[in-house]
Structure 1
Amino acid sequence: MLRFIGRRLLQAMFVLLIISVISFMIQDKLGDPVQQMVGQSVPQQDRLALQQDLGLNDPLLVQYGRFLGRALQGDLGTSYYYKEATLDIILSRLPATLELSFSALVLVILLATPLGVVAAIHPKSLLSRAILIFSTLGLSVPIFIVAVFLMYFFAIEWRLLPSFGRGETTWVMGLWQSGLFNKDGLLHLLLPSFSLAFVLTPMFIRLIRAEMIDALQSEYIRYAWSKGISASRIYFVHALKNTMLPVITVAGIQVGTLVAYTILTESIFQWPGMGLLFMEAVTRVDVPLISAYLMVVGVIFVVTNTVVDLVYSLVNPRVRLPGYGS
Structure 2
Amino acid sequence: MTTFVIRRLMQAVMVLFATSLIVFVAVYAIGDPLEILLPSDASEAERAQVARSLGLDLPLPVQYGRFLWAALHGDFGNSFVYNRPAMEVIFERLPATLELTITALLMSLLIGLPMGLWAGNRPGTMVDESVMTGSILGFSLPHFWQGMMLIMIFAVWLGWLPSTGRGEPGTIFGITTSFASWDGIRHLILPAINLSLGNMAVIIRLTRTGVQETLPLDFVKFARARGLSERRILLVHVMKIILIPIVTVIGIEFGTLVAFAVVTETIFAWPGVGKLIIDSINALDRPVVVAYILVMVTLFIAINLAVDVAYSLLDPRIRSRAA
Quick check: TM above 0.5? yes
Q: Deviations over 1:82-102 (max 9, x none)?
A: 111111111111111111010
Give the Cα–Cα distance (whole angstroms) in 1 for the partners of residues 177 and 8 of structure 2.
Answer: 31
Q: 1:281 to 1:183 in 2, by over 3 A?
A: same
Q: TM-score, normalised by structure 1?
A: 0.95
Question: Runs of 4 or more off by more than 6 Å in structure 1?
Answer: none
Aligned partner of 2:85 in structure 1 is 85
Q: Is the 8 A contact 1:104 1:193 kept in 2?
A: yes
Q: Is the 8 A contact 1:30 1:282 kept in 2?
A: no
> Unmatched 5+ residue regions in structure 1?
none
Aligned partner of 1:294 in structure 2 is 293
Between 1:4-13 and 1:269-278, the stretch displaced more is 4-13
Q: TM-score, normalised by structure 2?
A: 0.96
> Unmatched 5+ residue regions in structure 2?
none
Aligned partner of 1:308 in structure 2 is 307
Between 1:34-43 and 1:289-298, the stretch displaced more is 34-43
RMSD over equivalenced CA pairs, Å? 1.4
Aligned partner of 1:99 in structure 2 is 99
SS in 2 for 1:177: strand
Aligned partner of 2:266 in structure 1 is 267
- Cα shift at 1:79: 0.5
Q: Is the 8 A contact 2:28 2:286 kept in 1?
A: no
Residues 163-182 of structure 1 correspond to what in structure 2 (within 5 A)?
163-174=163-174, 176-182=175-181
Give the Cα–Cα distance (whole angstroms) in 1 for the partners of residues 269 and 169 of structure 2.
Answer: 15
Give the Cα–Cα distance (whole angstroms) in 1 for the partners of residues 275 and 203 of structure 2.
Answer: 26
- Cα shift at 1:4: 2.4
- Cα shift at 1:48: 2.2
- Cα shift at 1:322: 5.9
SS in 2 for 1:171: strand
Q: Is the 8 A contact 1:4 1:321 kept in 2?
A: no
SS in 1 for 2:134: helix
Aligned partner of 2:210 in structure 1 is 211
Q: 1:85 to 1:244 in 2, by over 3 A?
A: same
Aligned partner of 1:201 in structure 2 is 200
Q: Does 1:9 align with 2:3?
A: no
Letter in 2 for 1:133: T
- Cα shift at 1:183: 0.4
Give the Cα–Cα distance (whole angstroms) in 2 for the partners of residues 322 and 308 of structure 1.
Answer: 16
Provide the aligned length of Structure 1 versus Structure 2.
323
Letter in 2 for 1:54: L
Give the Cα–Cα distance (whole angstroms) in 1 for the partners of residues 280 and 128 of structure 2.
Answer: 45
Residues 199-278 of structure 1 correspond to what in structure 2 (within 5 A)?
199-278=198-277
Give the Cα–Cα distance (whole angstroms) in 2 for the partners of residues 321 and 260 of structure 1.
Answer: 33
Residues 45-56 of structure 1 correspond to what in structure 2 (within 5 A)?
45-56=45-56
Aligned partner of 2:110 in structure 1 is 110
Give the Cα–Cα distance (whole angstroms) in 2 for the partners of residues 71 and 103 of structure 1.
Answer: 31
- Cα shift at 1:255: 0.8
Aligned partner of 1:18 in structure 2 is 18
- Cα shift at 1:29: 5.1
SS in 1 for 2:15: helix
Give the Cα–Cα distance (whole angstroms) in 2 for the partners of residues 134 and 29 of structure 1.
Answer: 45
Give the Cα–Cα distance (whole angstroms) in 2 for the partners of residues 57 and 192 of structure 1.
Answer: 42
Residues 144-155 of structure 1 correspond to what in structure 2 (within 5 A)?
144-155=144-155
Q: Is the 8 A contact 1:4 1:322 kept in 2?
A: no
Q: Deviations over 1:65-112 (max 9, x none)?
A: 110010111111110011111111111111111110100000000111
Q: Deviations over 1:132-183 (max 9, x none)?
A: 1111111111111111110111112221111111111123332x42101210
Identity %: 38
Q: 1:316 to 1:2 in 2, by over 3 A?
A: closer
